[in-house]
């Protein structure tokens, strides 16, 4: 599937942008220079006849992306949250991609439900509405359970979506391979690994059993978070292509007019959505990685309700600590420490100059402070960051793509609620609290306690394991072997005693 025939798919992408009138819209939004405009049109116009026509009733950019398929729609969803990058006009056009796409028929949806749940819809639901929201991969219906009378949301995958997505992602793989072959300077971004990561993430969206499981885990982590809640999963009525969850009433976080009419404080909502994301990423290492406005509502009591758990991010504890230190350093304007953390974590090659890197980071960070957020061009900032990372040989860390992408999306959501929101000011208390808990003396004691618990589990077997290993390795020098054995066994015993003591101390303190 990843052969040269995908050239046609890539050409068709440019041709579709031209045919739908989206090419100029996109070039204008990104303030493309004249040379790039010339090249883009020269490549697109001769092949316009290959482009998809799309729905003429839609704005040009939305028309092009919906015609091109689900992977392109996902890209448009991200851009819709960044008016500071693509401009207000294009951001508004792209916002319909979140949950206002053309639906498939209710008959097709019912057929999918019956096939997956093994029962007629009429035996499960007393009511089953027309589609109320349609996105790139699935659509949602409001229904009422016969057994309990509870209102629920029923999410159903689009028929044939797996094949449609496969076609898009294959073209992306082909493009990444071309970059690898003909753009050596971009290899540090590891485009093939990036596409593989994206492929794996979206495959998870195509199995709603995995989404249900993710929602259940996320709810367990966040059930005590004030001002935030999730609709409960109804496992008995969920399967691979169908997911049923409790109904959530509220105003969309992307509808500022509705939020104002309901009396919600948009500035406070902007800060809360940022704090919640950082809290989930740093505290739990498990966060909602698709937090655009189409997946967030505000309940009448002011709670933020999240749904659509197809894309979730996971960060291990060590990486969370590294990124917390980086964020904390930026907040304190301690660019030398930020640079040192990059080197300590291996993010920057050791042969680079740490002081020079710190000065480059200062040039990135200083414009953020003391300025109104509306004065900061995120497009120019990201462009400069790219230049800095390229100069110092940093490689793309594929395991952190979702974290980096979601930070951009959430900041865009916050700024759509309140253009004056500054992510660094909101982040300070969350990051400071995490630093105190994860990097201070108490964290060291906690780490030692965890290590001691592991040793304690193997305690009864440890002397035997050590002796057996030494017997296998030491065929000669019998006296030396026996002395070494005694020393190691003694050290192991002492280590276990210390570990047990740390466990008792930790339990006492907690």
pLDDT at site 453: 66
Instruction: Please give the Cα distance from 223 to 402 (Å, whole number).
Output: 23
Known catalytic residues? 290
Mean pLDDT, the chain cut into blocks of 10 residues (510 residues total): 68 88 80 70 81 86 85 74 65 68 90 95 95 87 95 94 83 75 58 73 83 93 94 94 93 92 94 93 90 90 92 85 80 86 84 90 76 56 60 67 75 86 80 77 64 65 68 58 54 52 49
Backbone angles phi, psi at 138, to 5 degrees: -150, 170
How far from each other are the two terminal CA atoms of the chain, in whole angstroms?
A: 55
Closest CA to 25 of 95, 87, 113, 102: 87
pLDDT at site 28: 79
* pTM summary value: 0.71
pLDDT at site 259: 95
pLDDT at site 62: 86
Helix-then-strand count for the chain, H and E = 23, 10
Instruction: Please give the Cα distance from 204 to 418 (Å, whole number).
Output: 33
Please count the other Cβ atoms lying within 10 Å of the Cβ belonging to residue 505: 14
């Amino acid at each position: 599937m990843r052969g040269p025939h995908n050239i046609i798919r890539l050409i068709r992408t440019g041709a579709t942008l031209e045919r739908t009138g989206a090419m100029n819209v996109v070039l204008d939004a990104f303030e493309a220079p004249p040379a790039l405009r010339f090249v883009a049109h020269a490549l697109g116009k001769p092949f316009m006849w290959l482009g998809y026509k799309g729905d003429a009733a839609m704005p040009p950019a939305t028309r092009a992306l919906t015609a091109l398929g689900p992977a392109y729609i996902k890209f448009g969803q991200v851009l819709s949250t960044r008016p500071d990058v693509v401009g207000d006009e294009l951001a508004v056009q792209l916002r319909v991609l979140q949950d206002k796409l053309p639906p498939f028929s209710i008959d097709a949806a019912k057929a999918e439900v019956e096939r997956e749940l093994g029962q007629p819809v009429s035996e499960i639901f007393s009511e089953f509405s027309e589609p109320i929201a349609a996105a790139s991969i699935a659509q949602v219906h409001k229904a009422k359970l016969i057994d309990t009378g509870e209102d629920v949301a029923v999410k159903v995958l689009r028929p044939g979506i797996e094949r449609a997505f496969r076609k898009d992602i294959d073209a992306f793989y082909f493009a990444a391979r071309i970059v690898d072959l003909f753009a050596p300077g971009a290899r540090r971004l590891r485009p093939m690994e990036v596409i593989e990561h994206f492929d794996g993430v979206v495959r998870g969206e195509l199995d709603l059993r995995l989404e249900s499981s993710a929602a259940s885990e996320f709810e367990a982590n966040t059930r005590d978070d004030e001002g935030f809640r999730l609709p409960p999963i109804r496992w008995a009525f969920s399967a691979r292509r169908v997911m049923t969850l409790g109904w959530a009433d509220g105003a969309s976080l992307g509808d500022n007019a509705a939020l104002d009419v309901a009396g919600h404080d948009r500035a406070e909502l902007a800060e809360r959505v940022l704090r919640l994301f950082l809290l989930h990423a740093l505290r739990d290492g498990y966060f909602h990685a698709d937090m655009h406005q189409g997946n967030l509502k505000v309940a009448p009591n002011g709670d933020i309700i999240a749904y659509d758990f197809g894309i979730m991010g996971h960060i291990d504890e060590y990486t969370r600590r590294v990124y917390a230190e980086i964020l904390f350093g930026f907040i304190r304007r301690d660019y030398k420490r930020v640079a040192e953390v990059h080197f300590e974590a291996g993010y920057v090659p050791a042969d680079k100059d740490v002081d020079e890197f710190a000065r480059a980071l200062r040039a990135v960070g200083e414009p953020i402070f003391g300025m109104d957020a509306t004065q900061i061009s995120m497009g120019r900032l990201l462009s400069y960051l790219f230049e800095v990372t390229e100069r110092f040989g940093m490689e793309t860390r594929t395991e952190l793509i979702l974290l980096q992408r979601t930070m951009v999306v959430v900041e865009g959501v916050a700024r759509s609620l309140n253009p004056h929101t500054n992510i660094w000011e909101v982040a300070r208390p969350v990051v400071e609290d995490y630093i105190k808990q994860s990097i201070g003396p108490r964290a060291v004691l906690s780490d030692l306690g965890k290590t001691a618990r592991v040793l304690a589990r193997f305690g009864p077997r440890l002397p035997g394991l050590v002796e057996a290993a030494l017997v296998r390795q030491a065929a000669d020098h019998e006296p030396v072997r026996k002395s070494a054995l005694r020393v190691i066994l003694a050290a192991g015993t002492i280590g276990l005693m210390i570990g047990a003591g740390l466990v008792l101390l930790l339990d006492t303190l907690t």
